[in-house]
Amino acid sequence: MKNGTGRRGIAFAIDALFAIAVIAVFAISVVPAYPAFSATGDAAPDALSKLSSAMLRSMCLATASELSAESPEIAELYSDGNLTANDSEMTACQLVARLSLGGAESVARARNITAEAYGALIPPATGLAVYANDALVYNSTFEPASPGALHSSTAFVYTYGRAGVAAEPEGPIKMEARAWWP
Amino acid sequence: MLSAEIVLATFVFVLAVAIINHAYSRTLEGALSTTSDYRDVRTYSSLLLDSQGSQPDWDYASHGGRPLTLSSNGSINITKAAYLVALLADDEAATLSALSAGPYKIGIRIAGPDGSPVVADCPGCDCGGRCSVTLERYPAIGSNNIFTTEAPYRLVNSNGAGAGVGQVKLLFYRTYD
């Protein structure tokens, strides 16, 4: 009777150990797969794509006059006479592209305009940069050499000028927006 | 002593079966729906934010059978956004059905450069009797956010006039229970 009880005890103990082993195997191999489903990481490239393309499209649709309330730099271009009512249809893309072809002061104005109009709209934990003809105009944060993910959108812009901004129509100028996860 | 061992072994075995069943069913659901979730929310997000060309017009009162887009020629129409927010607030189930949003719930936030949600006018108080709507809405709690997209967009009024730029944030939720 005592031997029988001992054997049963061993059998139950082995059964319990087997059950614990099965739990451990599933905890290691199956459960970690679930967060991979619920995380938004898979959608990250799409979110970056939307960010870079929306940024470029917004810049190429919004006019300088629309953004003058948000950008003191644009307001100053108007007050200095470098932009007039005749430039009301000039887009932010055209203005930034044109300024980026000028000297250091002109490039600084392009950077200020982009920062003032769009800097606060860039989602947190996201980096964004604008380039004109492959030259950096603006970046929200330093672009790492190997970002976690990167998406780039490109548009070609034809621009025109006025005294103080540009002398002749010019283009095409390659405008590029890059978005990344730091 | 023996009965205690039996109770312990039975408890452990039942616990193991319950955990395995739970983990397997969640994983199976994920495996079956991961691809379609990603594709679906991309589709809905693009329909709402990135529609191109001329879109059928719709408003709060007449939206049935029309694509509920927010974009017009690349800009976000904040009056359309007000219609959508008002529709979601008044009858979420019917609105999600009109969007063919399947199992998803939708959150939206359109903020101006100062970070505050935009308040959009509704011509003729056409947003369920409201004359203006704050463009911010989140679904009821109890859902898991599975997709978020946010980006700067050019904003336009109902008459197409530019209203500056703003941050548009769209969130998709899905309940698992």
Using the Cβ of A155 and the Cβ atoms of chain B, whether some distance falls under 8 Å is answered with no
Residue with more model confidence, A176 or A13: A176
What residues contact residue B154 under an 8 Å CB cut-off, 6+ apart?
Answer: A57, A58, A61, A62, A66, B74, B75, B76, B162, B164, B165
C-alpha pair distances (Å), B98 with each of B42, B91, B93, B101, B141? 17, 11, 9, 8, 22
Please tell me which of A148-162, B47-61, B71-85 the model is most confident about, judged by mean pLDDT. B71-85
If one counts every other C-beta atom within 10 angstroms of the C-beta of residue B134, the result is 15
Q: What is the pLDDT of residues A80-104, one digit of tens each?
A: 888 888 888 899 999 999 898 888 8
| Neighboring chain B residues of A55 at a CB cutoff of 8 Å | 151-152
Mean local confidence (pLDDT), A125-142: 94
The Cα–Cα gap between A137 and B165 comes to 19
Kindly report the length of chain B.
177
Q: Which of A57, A59, A128, A181 to mutate to test the interface with B (most CBs of B within 10 A)?
A: A57
| ipTM, interface predicted TM-score of the complex | 0.73
| Neighboring chain A residues of B28 at a CB cutoff of 8 Å | none
With 0.80 as the threshold, say if the pTM is over it: no
Q: What is the pLDDT of residues A21-78, one digit of tens each?
A: 777 666 555 544 333 333 344 556 678 999 999 999 999 999 998 999 889 999 999 9
Task: Nearest by CB to B74, from A50, A51, A61: name it.
Answer: A61
Residue B96 scores a pLDDT above 90: no
Contact B16 A23 (CB under 8 A): yes
